[in-house]
Chain A
């Protein structure tokens, strides 16, 4: 099993991003996803900067994939999407079928990201025909669902034609909206957001009136209140998952990658999940819950 560092879902200053990826050079990540997937107004790094960063990481023998936006609404966003899809060097993670359309037209191989609704083997087959090489399972699906899909892929004779990646660690991207919830939390309109999400490097937590953390607000994206942690579940991924994704939250993500490396190598030991961690989706129960 390989390890991947997913795309940065939060909005950080350019310097912070660059320092973070300098550290990623020597991290346990085999694959690094780069790019803005949440909001097109976040332009600390422009497409050109991401591609330059990608080249540096590729020189250090990391596999680099350029990630693209999940919610594409404006022609200007499609223009940037085209630049990414036509970069000529790196594979692209499509997070909308608009990206799949452009990538297929250009015959660029791609990763099907978690924001694309691929729930069965027939869809996988169709996407393979469009150039998909790797599939990141939708976050709400379970191990049980994955087993069934892969069994069907075997029947269809396509099991060997793609890799399976699993979003395994981090606050889970659960929804995308027209509304910016971070701006709303500051009583600002989206058009006048002043890019305020840069003040919240791991998003803004939202809790119930009983202090249960239910969401993390990250611009137009709503994330899980609890942090997904499938470290104990690595053995149950054997034969199903090729790549484990850790979603960046800061330097602790590099420690998480080390932990997953140990788990993959069989040298780690089981942990007790913290109170704000969960593993429900993988175990086919409510996402926020934890199966011990």
Chain B
């Protein structure tokens, strides 16, 4: 099982490799990837350096090209694929059909992974990508239960990658337009959800308010820690009840499920968080490396160590974690 870690910068990439990642994934400095944030990602020079570092350590590099090509702007996505191939990256992670089509025809030797943003959740959709674009790995959306992941793994010969840790997207990825409804910008179109330029923190007599494009997402008392106003993690009223109507601010953590994922033949566990600091990447990578190695050394004795959970909780949204959709009760 491959441990695949996020790198939003060269220092994060080096930290991930040093911490025991088998592979890292990165994005270019433009809207061809779903973490298109200011100050993040790789220009050509940094990408070369990163690729060299990964090669020197005999690890793997994946490049995320996982937004949808704009009409008239397809070249940007196709250039990203060319760069990925020229770089000698081990895989391109792609969501858009047009981009996949270009990649498979122009660079038949480039390994293609289907991005989570393509939202393939069933055998027939997987077959579509396999037959048409020779996709060699599918990243599953975070909407399937563990049971469904196992079932899918049994019924396809496609290697499957799952999200193991990080911010929890609870909608079928790539098919969520909530962000553009609130701001006009979405992961699919600009590579960002609830973009920072629309975020406002405001002290009022009602407490600290967090807003997205002026829409009130949440209100915090003086001693509460205010979270980033991701629109699906706000507190809303449903006919008189005020609660997190969609989801609490929480992170996905599947350490306890690692044996089940191994047994289900999952080929890679992905850590979310290209937007996070090198320190985050380091901590998460070390914990997951240790967990995977400990399972491999003695599967029957595998237990989640308290110290692992503590580290992960500390870097989690709202300092709490969940199994998310993998655990049927969550749904």
Given the interface pairs A73-B144, A120-B68, A174-B181, the reply to whether A209 lies near B242 with Cβ below 8 Å is: yes
Given the interface pairs A119-B71, A174-B181, A209-B216, the reply to whether A81 lies near B124 with Cβ below 8 Å is: yes
> Do residues A117 and B188 form an inter-chain contact, with CB atoms below 8 A?
yes
CB nearest to B182 among chain A residues? A286
Question: How far is it, in angstroms, between the C-alpha of A207 and the C-alpha of B241 when the chains are bound?
Answer: 10
> Do residues A206 and B181 form an inter-chain contact, with CB atoms below 8 A?
no
The total of Cβ contacts below 8 Å across the A-B interface reads 225
CB nearest to B234 among chain A residues? A208
Distance (whole angstroms) from the CB of A129 to the closest CB of chain B:
10
7 contacts between A and B (CB under 8 A): A73-B148, A121-B71, A140-B177, A174-B181, A175-B172, A280-B184, A285-B184
Q: Is the interface of A mostly helix, strand, loop or mixed?
A: mixed
- B307 lies within 8 A of chain A by Cβ: no
> Do residues B97 and A140 form an inter-chain contact, with CB atoms below 8 A?
no
Q: Is the interface of B mostly helix, strand, loop or mixed?
A: mixed
> Do residues A177 and B239 form an inter-chain contact, with CB atoms below 8 A?
no
The interface stretch among B1-9, B38-46, B113-121 is: B113-121
**Contact-residue size bin, chain B (C-beta under 8 Å from the other chain):** 35 or more
Name A174-216 residues within 8 Å CB distance of B. 174-181, 184-185, 189-191, 204-212, 214-215
Distance (whole angstroms) from the CB of A7 to the closest CB of chain B:
16
The interface stretch among B125-133, B268-276, B312-320 is: B125-133
- B298 lies within 8 A of chain A by Cβ: no
- B328 lies within 8 A of chain A by Cβ: yes
Question: How far is it, in angstroms, between the C-alpha of A120 and the C-alpha of B188 when the chains are bound?
Answer: 12
- Among B69, B123, B236, the residue within 8 A (CB) of A208 is B236
- A67 lies within 8 A of chain B by Cβ: no
> Do residues B71 and A177 form an inter-chain contact, with CB atoms below 8 A?
no
- Among B72, B175, B330, the residue within 8 A (CB) of A152 is B72
> Do residues A117 and B331 form an inter-chain contact, with CB atoms below 8 A?
no
> Do residues B236 and A215 form an inter-chain contact, with CB atoms below 8 A?
yes
Question: How far is it, in angstroms, between the C-alpha of A24 and the C-alpha of B101 when the chains are bound?
Answer: 41
> Do residues B121 and A204 form an inter-chain contact, with CB atoms below 8 A?
no
Chain B residues, CB < 8 A from A181 = 245-246
Distance (whole angstroms) from the CB of B173 to the closest CB of chain A:
10
Question: How far is it, in angstroms, between the C-alpha of A121 and the C-alpha of B232 when the chains are bound?
Answer: 31
Distance (whole angstroms) from the CB of A152 to the closest CB of chain B:
5
Chain B residues, CB < 8 A from A149 = 71
> Do residues A288 and B170 form an inter-chain contact, with CB atoms below 8 A?
no
Name A121-156 residues within 8 Å CB distance of B. 121-123, 126, 138-140, 145, 148-149, 151-152
> Do residues A190 and B175 form an inter-chain contact, with CB atoms below 8 A?
no
> Do residues A120 and B125 form an inter-chain contact, with CB atoms below 8 A?
no
Chain B residues, CB < 8 A from A100 = 128
Distance (whole angstroms) from the CB of A268 to the closest CB of chain B:
27
> Do residues A179 and B331 form an inter-chain contact, with CB atoms below 8 A?
yes
Chain A residues, CB < 8 A from B224 = none
Chain A residues, CB < 8 A from B174 = 117
- B233 lies within 8 A of chain A by Cβ: no
> Do residues B97 and A123 form an inter-chain contact, with CB atoms below 8 A?
yes
Given the interface pairs A78-B122, A214-B215, A224-B181, the reply to whether A180 lies near B331 with Cβ below 8 Å is: yes
